[in-house]
């Protein structure tokens, strides 16, 4: 990974992904988690403060070393028990049926081969386990979607592989999940091409 991707971008994302608009969303998505949880794209640890006491361990998956260091420091300061489950969401270092829940927050936009990563989530979830997610992706508004397609290449280059045009709901169901609950809305404080949001819970079928 380049110096920009390892040093500059993690600092930018650490600030950009912790705002007055997304903190309440993080709190909602994390609120029902319990037991052992695997988080794809755990980043610099902004979800740690929102984990309920029912979470007994957080397994983290994060490819960027600088972000892992930031998250480890935050977890130590908060007394949250975390453990690494690898650096590639497409190859989770966890046994089959070993976690109670999975968490993704603004992550599926960036993971190469998100279908493979979601397949790994299905593999490691215990019976009754759920995927808790909030993601940005392709808008149903044709005008917004046109802008997303125009900007997608630039976004990918400057934002560490992030895409604006991924159909999050279709990716989740296509990977063998049933969406139990989902809301879609425009995220406050975000320009429309970046703000179309999918928030919900899905279960393997």
Q: Enumerate the domain spans of the chain.
A: 3-204
List, for residues 40-56, the tens digit of each pLDDT value: 999 999 999 999 999 99
Query: Could you say which DSSP state residue 3 is in?
Result: H
Query: Residue 65 has what pLDDT?
Result: 94
For each successive 10 residues of the chain (205 residues), what is the average pLDDT? Answer: 85 94 98 98 97 97 96 94 96 98 98 97 98 98 98 96 98 98 96 97 98
With 0-12 CB in 10 A as exposed, 13-18 as middle and 19+ as buried, what is 123? middle
Query: Residue 106 has what pLDDT?
Result: 98
Query: Residue 1 has what pLDDT?
Result: 59
- Nearest to 106, CA basis, from 191, 11, 22: 22
Query: Residue 3 has what pLDDT?
Result: 82
Query: Residue 88 has what pLDDT?
Result: 97
- pTM for the full model? 0.95
Contacts of 137 (CB under 8 A, 6+ apart): 108, 109, 164, 165, 166, 167, 168, 196, 198
Instruction: Specify whether domain 3-204 bears CATH 3.40.50.150.
Output: yes
List, for residues 90-123, the tens digit of each pLDDT value: 999 999 999 999 999 999 999 999 999 999 999 9
Query: Could you say which DSSP state residue 164 is in?
Result: S
Buried b (16+ CB within 10 A) or exposed e, 127-153: eebbbbbbbbbbbeeeebbebbeeebe
């Amino acid at each position: 990974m380049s110096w920009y991707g390892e040093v500059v971008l993690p600092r930018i994302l650490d600030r950009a992904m912790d705002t007055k608009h997304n903190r309440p969303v993080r709190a909602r998505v994390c609120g029902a988690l319990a037991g052992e949880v695997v988080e794809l794209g755990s980043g610099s640890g902004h979800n740690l403060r929102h984990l309920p006491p029912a979470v007994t361990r957080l397994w983290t998956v994060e490819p960027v070393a600088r972000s892992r260091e930031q998250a480890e420091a935050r977890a130590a300061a908060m007394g949250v028990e975390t453990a690494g489950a690898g650096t590639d969401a497409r190859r989770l270092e966890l046994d089959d049926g070993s976690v109670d829940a999975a968490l993704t927050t603004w992550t599926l936009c960036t993971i190469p081969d998100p279908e493979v990563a979601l397949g790994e989530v299905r593999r490691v979830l215990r019976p009754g386990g759920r995927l808790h997610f909030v993601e940005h992706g392709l808008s149903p508004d044709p005008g917004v979607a046109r802008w997303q397609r125009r900007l997608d290449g630039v976004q990918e280059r400057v934002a560490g592989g992030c895409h604006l045009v991924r159909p999050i709901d279709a990716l989740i169901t296509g990977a063998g999940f049933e969406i139990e609950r989902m809301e879609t809305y425009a995220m406050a404080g975000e320009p429309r091409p970046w703000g179309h949001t999918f928030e919900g819970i899905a279960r393997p079928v």
